[in-house]
């Protein structure tokens, strides 16, 4: 019997960037197959090609032995493939049931939508998550009223409702709590028993080893290894993912002296997931916000920056209370924010590198006229100091790689001289070399006395960069790790809410 | 309040309509007489129809500024075809069919540019409206060319004692109900609510958007045929204000211009509210020169209110 | 090859080529079309369009589907106000300009607040404002034409001023320099592009996007009010729908000039070329003695062709 899926020689370019170069993947019938690799290795692109939302440049894909073009999501669906989307594919304005059966609405008399069947079947599906689905989650609930984990469950149900032969789960567990993950894994085992294959992508290695039968590892757009899970170890997998091991040096600068003065003091702030968070940060300190994703770290940064003001508590900067209602207030008080979601939060697409770099300092200095000469020489100095590679200050921001773009946005804030710099998952989507440069910049900035708060979705970043890490769980700080107590083991244990 | 009104913003529109009806009845004692009601409905019906059609386009996240020009083009086509075929009852039927056919063609043109060539909808339908209006002037350079008596008598009269305008309204309501229960309607809202999600789910986004434009143009064509029954002649400049009024009616009816939320029933009420505002201002005895201003202000205030309520 | 295509797709180049082709076509059809005084005549018409398009340009650059469809009614308002303030009196020209510009600015600010504070989509807000202004114009003029231009204003717009060129062209040139300076050499200009290209990022960089956008609508109103003064100077008197004919061309001039309707990219230089190309096209079509309907159809078709060049939206599948 031919395998459920056989992809070979798949290539894809986005403009000048090669996203996939000879990617291979073979998934057997009724197999849970994990697809692993570092950020930007191409695994999401490969999945989107299999699901028909991205067009491949070259390569062959066979589904159950039959060569397929997979020219659209409809074509992929016709071939029995369903993709669980990391970027959710739900329509917030529709109800859970309307979303779950979108495009497959049960029909009654005369081809009209049979709403009773629609809602009953959806409630039955929700029932698989009985006890762990949370409050106010029914077939008739509007998706915009759901919590993030409930949306993720809805997305899973939507995939199941399509009754596919092959399911791609791309980070399907990211927003789920542990009990919900357990239910999800039992569903995956049921699927396997029914002969349905699945491709599983997760950034949690422990989950992969719990559920996967086989593992394929990708690096730089190519497939580099294929293992049976039983015959490999997490260490071997990580070695394949990283390739040439090049972790950043640990502790490039000494931790600030205990005597260094307190710069930022946060007292019992609330809002969103935050359940009353208090801590203090010193001048020159690099303070990490650790823990699993979605435990309130991003909310804290958004609150400090005035993008999403706190609902309670207070913040002192150099002893003075600050309560920014909008980012402009926070910037005036001396905060800066570098986000890893550059396209959404930072870039002015189509505009020049200079415009992108200069905007924050123009605002901070309340500039009216632009003196192009001085501005250009100032930023070309800054950017060469940051080892940025760029064609010229007039080139559009989009001509740069992710790592070099992030240097532009760092330069944006360096020029505004913030006393507290907030980093929101800043290394997302940038390569290892650029990451090392980025860390050096952050350390140098801290060396000048700036206080740095960093949230990262990768623990390794926090371990190699931070003087101290506050671990978040359920909107509270559950551990304060520093010096000898700060290591990967302690971080992971604290993240899962266990005592260090 | 939020959950009570969830997806039922038209309840507010309905309340406003009832209040306006009350005020109008107080100002104009014979307002509730059948003949007066029928003449009012005759006046409001074209906007009601255009607004219903516009709703489908707006739900899909697009907009149709060409509806007014479609009304004009359908009108001149219909009267010209009737005149060319001699004006008997068969030629009237041929004229009606030609009008609807032209409407469908206009909708397909709009849908092609917006959904297939991916043009920006506002400017595109602006541009097609210029072309449609130009063609209308080509077909009939000046107002005139009366329709046969059978046409306008039929429109002013009725069938089995029910006035034709009421039958048209009832047919529109049935159409709304039928379309609203088809999978098409949910899918259309998905396309307007989150286009990438709809695409990833495997919906034929392009086809759905084209269908919405065709529906809009067909409703505009029906509105044109009604207007023709009312004016009994051709006018290449007919319906110029309908694009704006229909969008106002859609917003007043609780449909979000961003797409995905709302429905044509609200737009129907919104169109009636717009018509009633004009009535009330007229019967309130306001000096003539202030009437346009007051109507403009009320519409703007209502639009602002509609947007605020929809946002909650 | 790619580079060549890039250059050939430059809106400024396309608009400039279109101008040359249209001039050539006009000269072929009717010798003398491209004569100096004819060109000055065309530029005068283009100047009026160009001034109102400056405001439209700013609003479109500011993004969020920015568009100002009330400019026509504001032009009419400006013309009526200016005509009544002047009443043919040369001494009252400056007060007339100030009154028309001020009224336009106020209307624009109301548009801006509606768009930013109440968050009414710009298309709807400005169309609604158009309805209100049309009503206000009926009240102001009681339905009859009122007010007339001062002789000096008419001379300034229509007669040679310096070097055989009417004064209005100097005003347009000054506006062009000012627009280029503001957009390229001031922090305000850069912030317009910033909010137009990515509003969220602009806010996170500390820009007050709502305030900036409100000002843009105010400026659009101001330019339209000034255009009203130019219109009454051009024709001598006004009627309440005198500005309607400028709404659509002001948007088209901006689009021809390569300003993206999505906001955040484009220039006033392009809009100037767009205004000139548009006026030339109209003139050539008139020279061809085309009927009104065919001019309309060609107009609409031109716009559709332009959309094909740079008004397309992103593909869903990449």
Express each pLDDT in A10-38 by its tens digit. 999 876 567 898 899 999 999 999 998 76
CB A372 within 8 A of CB C185: yes
Helix (H) or strand (E) holding A378: helix A372-385
Structural domain range at position C165: 40-247+259-264
Range with the poorest average pLDDT among A311-325, A334-348, A381-395 = A381-395
Q: How far apart are CA A382 and CA A376, in angstroms?
A: 10
pTM: 0.83
Q: How far apart are CA A139 and CA A124, in angstroms?
A: 9
A284 DSSP assignment = T
Q: Compute, in degrees rounded to 10, the torsion defined by CA atoms A30, A201, B205, C308.
A: -140
The residues of chain B scoring below 50 in pLDDT are 1-4
Q: How far apart are CA B144 and CA B76, in angstroms?
A: 9
Structure tokens at A325: 């209602």
Sign of CA dihedral A47, A53, A58, A60: positive
The pLDDT value given to residue A154: 92
How far CA C29 is from CA of A334, C23, C25, C42, C286, in Å, comes to 66, 10, 6, 16, 11
pLDDT tens by residue, A43-99: 888 998 999 988 999 999 999 999 999 998 889 989 999 988 766 789 998 999 999
β A32-36/A197-201 pair status: parallel
Closest residue to B194, CB basis, from A51, A74, A92: A92
Range with the poorest average pLDDT among A256-260, A423-427, B116-120 = A256-260
The pLDDT value given to residue C316: 67
Whether the per-residue pLDDT at C118 is higher than 50: the answer is yes
Sign of CA dihedral A182, A184, A188, A193: positive
Q: Considering the domain boundaries, does residue C226 fall inside one? A: yes
Q: How far apart are CA B165 and CA B173, in angstroms?
A: 12
How far CA C60 is from CA of A338, A477, C48, C246, C313, in Å, comes to 28, 46, 19, 16, 16
Give the CA angle between residues A397, A399, A402 to the nearest 5°.
75
Closest CA to C225 of C111, C66, C64, C61: C111
Sign of CA dihedral A362, A367, A369, A374: negative
* Confidence tier at A490 by pLDDT (50, 70, 90): confident
pLDDT tens by residue, C256-276: 888 888 889 899 999 999 999
Structure tokens at C278: 């548009």
Any chain C CB within 8 A of the CB of A51?
Answer: no
Contact flag B199-C317 (C-beta cutoff 8 Å): yes
From C121's Cα to the closest Cα of chain B, the distance in A is: 8
Closest residue to A102, CB basis, from B182, B187, B196: B187
Question: What's phi and psi for A62, nearest 5 deg?
Answer: -115, 130
Distance between start and end Cα atoms, chain A: 50
The pLDDT value given to residue C15: 85
Chain A residue with minimum CA distance to B182: A112
Any chain A CB within 8 A of the CB of C202?
Answer: yes
How far CA A223 is from CA of A69, B255, C26, in Å, comes to 21, 49, 63
- Residue scoring higher pLDDT (C91 or A255): C91
80-119 in chain B: CB under 8 A from chain C: 113, 117-119
User: Token match 């109301």: residue?
Assistant: C110
Whether the per-residue pLDDT at A250 is higher than 50: the answer is no
Structure tokens at A374: 């001085």
Q: Considering the domain boundaries, does residue C15 fall inside one? A: no
Structure tokens at C91: 């001494």
Residues in A closer than 8 angstroms to C201, CB to CB, are 344-348
Residues in A closer than 8 angstroms to B193, CB to CB, are 91-94
**% chain A with pLDDT above 90:** 46
Q: How far apart are CA A136 and CA A145, in angstroms?
A: 9
Q: How far apart are CA B133 and CA C300, in angstroms?
A: 10
* Confidence tier at C2 by pLDDT (50, 70, 90): low
* Mean pLDDT of the region C180-187: 96
CB A26 within 8 A of CB A5: yes
Strand boundaries in chain B, DSSP class E = 144-146, 158-159, 162-163, 233-234
Range with the poorest average pLDDT among A323-327, A367-371, C306-310 = C306-310
Any chain A CB within 8 A of the CB of C165?
Answer: no
Structure tokens at A9: 């020689």
Q: How far apart are CA C57 and CA C45, in angstroms?
A: 18
The pLDDT value given to residue A400: 80
Question: What's phi and psi for A134, nearest 5 deg?
Answer: 90, 175
Whether the per-residue pLDDT at A249 is higher than 60: the answer is no
Question: What is the total count of domains within chain C?
Answer: 1
* Mean pLDDT of the region A212-231: 90
CB A310 within 8 A of CB A303: yes
140-159 in chain C: CB under 8 A from chain B: 142-143
Q: How far apart are CA C124 and CA B310, in angstroms?
A: 15
Q: Which fold has domain B2-311?
A: ABC transporter involved in vitamin B12 uptake, BtuC (1.10.3470)
Whether the per-residue pLDDT at C307 is higher than 80: the answer is no
* Confidence tier at C207 by pLDDT (50, 70, 90): very high
Residues in C closer than 8 angstroms to A14, CB to CB, are 318
How far CA A44 is from CA of A241, B195, C180, in Å, comes to 15, 20, 44
Contact flag C187-A362 (C-beta cutoff 8 Å): yes
Q: How far apart are CA B205 and CA A102, in angstroms?
A: 13
Closest CA to B212 of B187, B193, B195, B194: B187
Contact flag C135-B295 (C-beta cutoff 8 Å): yes
A429 DSSP assignment = T
How far CA C141 is from CA of B282, B298, C76, C138, in Å, comes to 20, 21, 11, 5
Sequence-distant (≥ 6) Cβ neighbours of residue C2 within 8 angstroms? none
Chain C residue with minimum CA distance to A364: C206
CB B253 within 8 A of CB C102: no
Contact flag C135-B129 (C-beta cutoff 8 Å): no
Sequence-distant (≥ 6) Cβ neighbours of residue B160 within 8 angstroms? none
Any chain B CB within 8 A of the CB of C3?
Answer: no
Chain C residue with minimum CA distance to A354: C190
Give residue B163's Cα distance to chain centre: 20
Q: How far apart are CA B26 and CA B40, in angstroms?
A: 16
* Mean pLDDT of the region A446-465: 88
Q: How far apart are CA C212 and CA C61, in angstroms?
A: 11
Q: How far apart are CA B110 and CA B127, in angstroms?
A: 10
Chains in contact with A, where contact means 3 or more Cβ–Cβ distances below 8 Å, are B, C
Q: Considering the domain boundaries, does residue C1 fall inside one? A: no
**% chain C with pLDDT above 70:** 93
The pLDDT value given to residue C75: 97
Whether the per-residue pLDDT at A248 is higher than 60: the answer is no
pLDDT tens by residue, A329-363: 999 999 999 998 888 899 998 899 999 999 999 98
Q: How far apart are CA B187 and CA B60, in angstroms?
A: 9
Residues in C closer than 8 angstroms to A72, CB to CB, are 317
Contact flag B199-A73 (C-beta cutoff 8 Å): yes
Q: DSSP string covering A478-499, please? A: EEEEEGGG-SHHHHHHHHTT--
Whether the per-residue pLDDT at A252 is higher than 80: the answer is no
């Amino acid at each position: 019997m031919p395998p459920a899926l056989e992809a070979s020689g798949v290539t894809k370019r986005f403009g000048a960037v090669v996203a996939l170069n000879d990617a291979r993947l073979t998934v057997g019938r009724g197999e849970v197959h994990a697809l692993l690799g570092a950020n930007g290795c191409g695994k999401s692109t490969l999945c989107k090609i299999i699901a028909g939302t991205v067009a491949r440049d070259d390569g062959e894909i066979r589904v159950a032995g039959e060569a397929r073009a997979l020219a659209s999501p409809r074509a992929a669906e016709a071939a029995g493939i369903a993709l669980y989307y990391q970027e959710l594919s739900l329509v917030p304005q529709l109800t859970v049931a309307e979303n779950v059966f979108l495009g497959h609405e049960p029909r009654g008399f005369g081809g009209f939508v049979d709403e009773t069947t629609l809602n009953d079947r959806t409630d039955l599906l929700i029932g698989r998550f009985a006890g762990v689905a949370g409050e106010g989650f029914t077939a008739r609930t509007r998706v915009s009223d759901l919590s993030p984990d409930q949306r993720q469950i809805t997305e899973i149900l939507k995939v199941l409702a399509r009754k596919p032969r092959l399911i791609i789960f791309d980070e399907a567990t990211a927003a789920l709590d542990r009990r919900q993950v357990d239910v999800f894994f039992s569903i995956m085992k049921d699927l396997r028993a029914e002969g349905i294959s699945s491709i599983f992508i997760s950034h949690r290695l422990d989950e992969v080893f719990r559920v996967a039968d086989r593992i394929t590892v990708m690096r730089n757009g190519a497939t580099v290894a294929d293992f049976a899970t039983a015959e490999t170890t997490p260490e071997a997998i990580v070695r394949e993912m990283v390739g040439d091991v090049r972790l950043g040096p640990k502790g490039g600068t000494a931790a600030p002296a205990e005597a260094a003065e307190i710069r930022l003091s946060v007292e019992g702030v609330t809002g969103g997931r935050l359940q009353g968070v208090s801590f203090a940060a010193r001048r020159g300190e690099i303070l990490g916000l650790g823990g699993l994703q979605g435990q309130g770290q991003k909310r804290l940064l958004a609150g400090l920056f005035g993008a999403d003001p706190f609902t309670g508590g207070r913040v002192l900067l150099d002893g003075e209370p600050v309560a920014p209602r909008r980012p402009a207030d926070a910037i005036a008080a001396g905060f800066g924010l570098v986000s890893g979601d550059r396209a959404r939060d930072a870039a002015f697409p189509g505009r020049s590198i200079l415009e992108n770099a200069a905007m924050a300092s123009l605002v901070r200095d309340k500039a009216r006229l632009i003196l192009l000469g001085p501005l250009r020489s100032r930023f070309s100095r800054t950017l060469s100091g940051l080892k940025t590679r760029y064609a010229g200050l007039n080139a559009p921001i989009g001509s740069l790689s992710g790592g070099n773009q992030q240097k532009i946005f760092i330069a944006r804030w360096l020029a505004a001289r913030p006393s507290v710099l907030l980093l929101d998952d800043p290394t997302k989507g940038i390569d290892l070399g650029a990451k090392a440069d980025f860390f050096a910049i952050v350390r140098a900035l801290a060396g000048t006395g700036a206080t740095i708060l960093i949230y990262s979705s990768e623990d390794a970043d926090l371990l190699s960069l931070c003087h101290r890490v506050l671990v978040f769980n359920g909107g509270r700080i559950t551990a304060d790790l520093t010096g000898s107590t700060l290591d990967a083991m302690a971080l992971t244990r604290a993240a899962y809410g266990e005592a260090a | 309040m939020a959950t009570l009104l969830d997806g039922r913003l038209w309840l507010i529109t309905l309340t406003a309509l009832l209040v306006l009806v009350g005020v109008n009845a107080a100002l104009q004692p014979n307002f509730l007489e059948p003949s007066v009601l029928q003449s009012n409905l005759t006046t409001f019906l074209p906007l009601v129809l255009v607004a219903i059609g516009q709703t489908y386009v707006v739900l899909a996240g697009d907009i149709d500024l060409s509806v007014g020009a479609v009304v004009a083009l359908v009108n001149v086509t219909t009267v010209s075809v009737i005149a060319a075929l001699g004006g008997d009852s068969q030629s009237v039927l041929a004229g009606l069919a030609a009008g609807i056919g032209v409407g469908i063609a206009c909708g397909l043109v709009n849908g092609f540019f917006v959904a297939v060539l991916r043009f920006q909808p506002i400017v595109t339908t602006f541009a097609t409206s210029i072309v449609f209006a130009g063609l209308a002037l080509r077909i009939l350079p000046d107002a005139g060319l009366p329709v046969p008596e059978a046409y306008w008598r039929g429109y002013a009269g009725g069938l089995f004692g029910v006035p034709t305008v009421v039958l048209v309204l009832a047919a529109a309501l049935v159409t709304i109900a039928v379309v609203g229960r088809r999978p098409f309607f949910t899918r259309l809202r998905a396309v307007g609510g989150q286009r990438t999600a709809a695409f990833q789910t495997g919906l034929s986004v392009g086809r759905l958007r084209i269908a919405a434009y065709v529906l809009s143009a067909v409703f505009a064509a029906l509105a044109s045929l009604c207007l023709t029954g009312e004016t009994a002649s051709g006018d290449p400049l007919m319906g110029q204000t309908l694009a704006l009024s229909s969008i106002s009616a859609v917003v007043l009816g609780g449909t979000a211009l961003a797409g995905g939320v709302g429905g044509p029933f609200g737009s129907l009420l919104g169109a009636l509210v717009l018509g009633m505002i004009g009535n009330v201002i007229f019967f309130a005895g306001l000096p003539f020169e202030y009437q346009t201003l007051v109507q403009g202000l009320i519409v703007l205030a209502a639009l602002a209110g509609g947007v605020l309520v929809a946002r909650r | 090859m790619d580079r060549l295509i890039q250059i050939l797709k430059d809106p400024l180049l396309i608009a400039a080529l279109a101008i040359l082709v249209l001039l050539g076509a006009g000269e072929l059809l009717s010798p003398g079309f491209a004569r100096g005084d004819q060109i000055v005549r065309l530029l005068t018409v283009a100047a009026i369009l160009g001034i109102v398009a400056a405001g439209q340009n700013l609003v479109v650059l500011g993004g969020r589907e920015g568009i100002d469809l009330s400019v026509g009614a504001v032009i009419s308002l400006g013309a009526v106000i200016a005509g009544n303030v002047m009443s043919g009196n040369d001494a009252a020209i400056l007060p007339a300009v100030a009154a028309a510009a001020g009224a336009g600015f106020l209307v624009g600010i109301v548009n801006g607040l509606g768009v930013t504070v109440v968050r009414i989509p710009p298309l709807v807000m400005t169309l609604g404002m158009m309805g209100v202004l049309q009503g206000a114009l009926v009240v102001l003029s009681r339905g009859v034409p009122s007010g007339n231009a001062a002789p000096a204003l008419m001379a300034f717009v229509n007669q040679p001023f310096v070097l055989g060129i009417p004064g209005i062209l100097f005003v347009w040139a000054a506006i062009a320099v000012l627009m280029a300076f503001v957009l390229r050499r001031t922090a305000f200009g850069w912030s317009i592009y910033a909010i137009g290209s990515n509003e969220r990022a602009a806010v996170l960089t500390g820009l007050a996007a709502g305030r900036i956008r409100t000002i843009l609508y105010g400026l659009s109103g101001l330019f339209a009010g000034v255009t009203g003064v130019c219109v009454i100077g051009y024709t001598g008197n006004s009627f309440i729908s005198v500005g309607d004919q400028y709404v659509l061309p002001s948007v088209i001039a901006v689009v021809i000039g390569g300003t993206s309707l999505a906001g955040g990219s484009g220039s006033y230089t392009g809009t100037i070329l767009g205004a000139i190309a548009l006026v030339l096209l109209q003139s050539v079509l008139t020279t061809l003695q085309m009927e009104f309907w065919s001019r309309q159809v060609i107009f609409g078709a031109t716009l559709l062709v332009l959309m094909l060049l740079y008004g397309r939206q992103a593909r869903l599948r990449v």
